Amino acid sequence: MKLIPEWKDHSCCLIAWPCNLDLYGSQINKAKIEIANLANQISEEEKVNMYCNSADYRECTTLISNKSISIIETKLDDSWMRDIAPIFYKEKNSLNAISFNFNGYGKYPEFKNDNKVSEFICSNLNIPYFKNNLTLEGGAITYDDKGNLFTTESVLLNPNRKNESKTIIEDQLLKLFDLNKIIWIPEGLQGDDTDGHIDNIFCPIGNDKYLLAYTNQNETRDFNVLDKSKKILEDELIFQSPKNQIIQIPLPSEIYINQKKIIASYINFYFTKNSIFVPKFNVKEDDEVYDIFQSVFIDKKIKMVETSHINYGGGNIHCITMNIPKI
């Protein structure tokens, strides 16, 4: 069983339609427009499946302009497809999946429908899968092509996930995916409702390169967390190979919508074969980040997409998407 890095070719992009008024509040209609725009753009490059509640089907079909997008009805509690979709892997040249447990981040026990989405997707797409009782959201892990899986202790070891010990989790993941090492980061961004998903701060991108968020506000918790993360990652990755390179991406300036601070990061992006879809926040760091991404992904087009109202609900581009690898 081998995990396939996100920068490899995709056969499909899975997206979930916003439906949770408690999270999005007055911003839900703007978030829907942003997600529809993102889906329309991604669909120009790869197949897109949009999942929505039955009550939202008509609205979804109205806002989705690219009719090649498949709109599929299912029961949803939230829109974070990355966390509720199955984890896909390759075995004997075929695509398979694992349906991990989802418990609403240990905070939203009413999210019963979301725990069934991964099985529904596999059944709907005829992808062989099996269930695993480990509570694990897709945004809680990331991995490279060298046998490393990266995660945060603040999520997988959080008592609210009701997982076993660190040793047991490590042993299970190493065996499941034939990994060389689990690299643990202590925590993620302050205020992240997921307890600190790694996909907001760190991402392997291939060719011995890794992106890591940073902030120069050196009296903040995020500065200390990201600085400590950088030291851990350097110790691990440079020890493995001096060719490995960590490229720092600034966090955006503070963003508020309706007096609510948005937990925002440019690391929360999506790969396609020809493009990188990066959040745009209309702050001064946007241009700097565009230039960094363009210098790193020299063979891809950098597409910065307005997503602040998606972010208001608690996540961003990477959170609302899940790629199915092409085998």
User: Which pLDDT score is estimated for 217?
Assistant: 87
Q: Which residue has the higher pLDDT, 217 or 74?
A: 74
Domain count, the chain: 1
pLDDT band at residue 8, thresholds of 50, 70 and 90? very high
End-to-end CA, the chain: 13
> Residue 235 burial (CB < 10 Å; 0-12/13-18/19+)?
exposed
User: Which pLDDT score is estimated for 218?
Assistant: 84
Determine the 3-state secondary structure of 101 from DSSP.
Answer: strand
pLDDT value at 99 more than 90: yes
**Single-letter residue type at 107:** K
Nearest to 200 by CA among 80, 98, 303: 80
Nearest to 217 by CA among 185, 188, 251, 268: 251
pLDDT value at 229 more than 90: yes
User: Which pLDDT score is estimated for 219?
Assistant: 79
pTM recorded for the entire structure: 0.97
What average pLDDT is seen over the chain? 97
Q: Report pLDDT digits (tens) over 151-203.
A: 999 999 999 999 999 999 999 999 999 999 999 999 999 999 999 999 999 99
CA distance 301 to 276: 6
User: Which pLDDT score is estimated for 140?
Assistant: 98
Contact 166, 127 (CB under 8 A): no
User: 74-105: buried (b, 16+ CB within 10 Å) or exposed (e) per residue?
Assistant: bebbbbbbbbbbbbbbeeeeebbbbbbbbbbb
CA distance 75 to 53: 5
Region 204-226 average pLDDT: 94
3-state helix/strand/coil string of 240-277: HCCCCEEEEEECCCCCEECCEECCCCCCCCEECCCEEE
Cα-only R_g, the chain: 18
* Residue 242: how many other CB atoms lie within 10 Å: 9
Domain that holds residue 21: 2-325
User: Which pLDDT score is estimated for 91?
Assistant: 94
The dihedral sign for the CA sequence 154, 97, 86, 147: positive
Q: Report pLDDT digits (tens) over 15-63.
A: 999 999 999 999 999 999 999 999 999 999 999 999 999 999 999 999 9
Give the CATH number for residue 211: 3.75.10.10
